[in-house]
Amino acid sequence: MSKYKEIKGFKVQTLASDTVASAIAGATWSAGGDLNTARASQGGAGTASTAALVFGGQTPGSTAVTESYNGSTWTEVNDLNDSRQLLGGTGSQTAALAAGGTSPHDASVESWNGSSWTEVTGLGTARRGNNGLFGVQTAAVFCGGYLPSGPGTGKTEVWNGSSWTETGDLNTSRWAFSSGGTTTAGIAFAGEAPNIAATEEFNGSAWTEVNDLNTGRGEVGGSGGPGSQTSILCFGGGSPPGAKNEHFDGTSWTELNDLSIARNQVTKTNISSPSALCIGGGQPGSPYNAQTEHFDTPATFTKINLGQVYFNSTANAFKVTEQPVPGGSWSSGGSLNTARAVAGASSGSDGNTSLFIISGATPNSVNVEEYDGSAFTEIANVNNAGENGMSSGNGSTVATIFTGGNPPRAALTESWDGSSWTEVADLNTGRGQAAGIGTQTAALVVGNGNTESWDGSSWTEVSDLNQTRRNNSGMGSSTLAIVAGGRTPASPAISNHVETWNGSSWTETTEINTARAEVSGSGVPYNNVIVIGGEPSKANTEFWNGSTWTEVGDMATAGSRISQNMGASANATLAFLQASPSVTTEEWNTPEANTTITVS
């Protein structure tokens, strides 16, 4: 006889811990052996968490003490020739370099052979500011630092094993930062000047800026061996000392599990991520500590997959992996090639990796630009210049229509076939400052008093909004939509009204928390949307779950007349800030997260 669960149930895997995006995302910090000499602002070397070296530092005076680590115990070995702090260190446990520092400002360089230190050719420029030295004993780079005359510098010198040669400077002068990599594939990040988030990559002769840290700060530690341009850690730092830990994957920084102990002025080693050591440093109430922490990945991990359901046996809870919109945040996006205001926008469901910005006021542009997730490229122009136009569609991957605009209030409609724009049937009523909703073959234009429906060949007037308005947002499809906010002809001029569309009529529903006009929105279907920015100069974002509105993450820059990003989801979209001609964009992303399933 069959069991009921075999007929009606489905299997759910049991896990001892939550799923994670990668092994490094599940890594944690744990206590290691203590230094014999507590210190901060020391130099470090070593290529494994079981084979590290620490030298010099502040105790509070400058020290020359060197210690070697076997993964559990620190042992004192021969001292540096010169006591110093705020120095750079790189190399392995048996072949290291120490350079620069302060006693007061130092240009001297010492080489370690596994048993003793020997002075070698000094830097061309004396400086302090630890962690700007990376590479190996015979091929290294020293960059940045604090000059005797102050403040920070971007000066970079390359070591060939016998001499130093100046090469291209960092784009952002800094000190108290960290670095990693090799002489032809290096990286520098964080620092003071103050609280730098800028990250730069080195190709052997020049530095190029890449994506910033999430949190700018100085006096950080790092894990910086070969391959650091695609995998590096930045931990601790800041004033007061912090515990924040971020990982760079070659494109962007992601926050991981924090240090167990908040501290700054910690060591950089040459250990390749995802392993790392955080050694010594300063913390509140203990400016010179001896503690070591190991960053270790789990022996096994189960990858996070959107939509998966599992039972966490440790938490005794069923969980599902989803993208909860309230967990999203804004970050800088790519810049447009042509500054403009009040433009149209259209995107695919991925929202910020396939997008059009269309026309707009520069004044009255015909330019169209396509976004690939990092950069805009100019493509074929629309036939008619205008501003306040409405776009419907799914970005560059699926066809788009662009409608209306002003001045004067236009009825023109143009259709995109993947390479060019063609004029098609006009709107019945010319207008601008409305919202476009839907696709190239099934769309709505909503606002300025009425609604029109598009079937792929012609426009038909349908039921009007209950509240006459313009500059409103619009999200959804031609049969299931929502509009929010806008400007009314009566008092109050700025609206917080929200209406939903069922394919034939509009119904008023719960109002947004903050009244606004010239507002944008994203979301498909209509019960999972966000409303963004708006006039008068709003930065806040609100999320709709089908019954209530909740405030979520603010944009970095308040703005109105934000492009209507039709087709995008509430999980990933791009906002073009355009109250006046601008090239600035911001990206909204919602990470995957494991959420406990509750029964109501």
237 vs 333, more confident:
237
Q: Are residues 262 and 332 in the same domain?
A: no
Q: Are residues 223 and 364 in the same domain?
A: no
Helix (H) or strand (E) holding 553: none
Residue 390 included in any domain: yes
- Written as one letter, the residue type at 154 is G
Q: Are residues 125 and 211 in the same domain?
A: yes
- Written as one letter, the residue type at 499 is E
Whole-angstrom distance, CA of residue 452 vs CA of residue 132: 62
397 — pLDDT class (breaks 50, 70, 90): very low
pTM of the full structure: 0.70
What are the tens digits of pLDDT across the range 168-178? 999 999 999 99
Taking a C-beta distance cutoff of 8 angstroms, is the pair 397, 409 a contact?
A: no
What are the tens digits of pLDDT across the range 206-232? 999 999 999 999 999 999 888 899 999
Residue 90 included in any domain: yes
Angle at 46 between CA 176 and CA 157, to 5 degrees: 50
The last residue of one of the domains, among 255, 279, 296, is: 296
Residue 332 included in any domain: yes
In Å, the largest CA–CA distance within the chain is 87
- Phi–psi pair at 25, nearest 5 degrees: -65, -25
The last residue of one of the domains, among 275, 296, 317, is: 296
Residue 22 included in any domain: no
Q: What percentage of the chain carries pLDDT values higher than 70?
A: 89
The arithmetic mean of pLDDT across residues 465-483, rounded, is 89
The last residue of one of the domains, among 296, 311, 337, is: 296
pLDDT of residue 398: 40
Q: What is the CA radius of gyration of the chain?
A: 29
Q: Are residues 351 and 292 in the same domain?
A: no
Residue 341 included in any domain: yes
Whole-angstrom distance, CA of residue 122 vs CA of residue 598: 65
The arithmetic mean of pLDDT across residues 580-585, rounded, is 81
Q: Is the pLDDT of residue 365 over 50?
A: yes
Q: Are residues 343 and 262 in the same domain?
A: no
pLDDT of residue 85: 95
Residue 4 included in any domain: no
**Domain containing 513 — which CATH number?**
2.120.10.80
Q: Are residues 545 and 438 in the same domain?
A: yes
> What beta strand segments (E) does 16-143 contain?
28-31, 43-48, 51-55, 66-69, 74-77, 88-91, 96-99, 109-112, 117-120, 133-136, 139-143
As to burial, measured by CB atoms within 10 angstroms (0-12 exposed, 13-18 middle, 19+ buried), residue 549 is: buried
The arithmetic mean of pLDDT across residues 236-242, rounded, is 93
Range of 207-211, 380-384, 392-396, 521-525 with top mean pLDDT? 207-211
Q: Are residues 217 and 331 in the same domain?
A: no
Give the per-residue SS3 of 172-218.
Answer: CCEECCEEEECCCCEEEECCECCCCCCEEEECCCCEEEECCCCCCCC
Q: Is the pLDDT of residue 69 over 50?
A: yes
The domain tally of the chain equals 2
Whole-angstrom distance, CA of residue 5 vs CA of residue 584: 55
396 vs 500, more confident:
500
The arithmetic mean of pLDDT across residues 108-133, rounded, is 95
Taking a C-beta distance cutoff of 8 angstroms, is the pair 86, 102 a contact?
A: yes
Q: Are residues 403 and 541 in the same domain?
A: yes
**1 is written with which tokens?**
């006889």
Domain of residue 361, residue span? 326-596
Residue 14 included in any domain: no
Q: Is the pLDDT of residue 404 over 80?
A: no
Taking a C-beta distance cutoff of 8 angstroms, is the pair 177, 218 a contact?
A: yes
Q: Which of 56-70, 496-510, 522-536 has the lowest mean pLDDT?
A: 522-536
What are the tens digits of pLDDT across the range 125-151? 999 987 999 999 999 999 999 998 888
Q: Are residues 71 and 125 in the same domain?
A: yes
pLDDT of residue 195: 92
Q: Are residues 97 and 223 in the same domain?
A: yes
The arithmetic mean of pLDDT across residues 245-263, rounded, is 94
Residue 21 included in any domain: no
Helix (H) or strand (E) holding 309: strand 309-312
Q: Are residues 285 and 330 in the same domain?
A: no
CA 121 to chain centre: 41
Please report, in angstroms and rounded to a whole number, the separation of the first and last CA atoms in the chain. 33
Closest CA to 160 of 140, 143, 184: 140
Q: Are residues 488 and 527 in the same domain?
A: yes
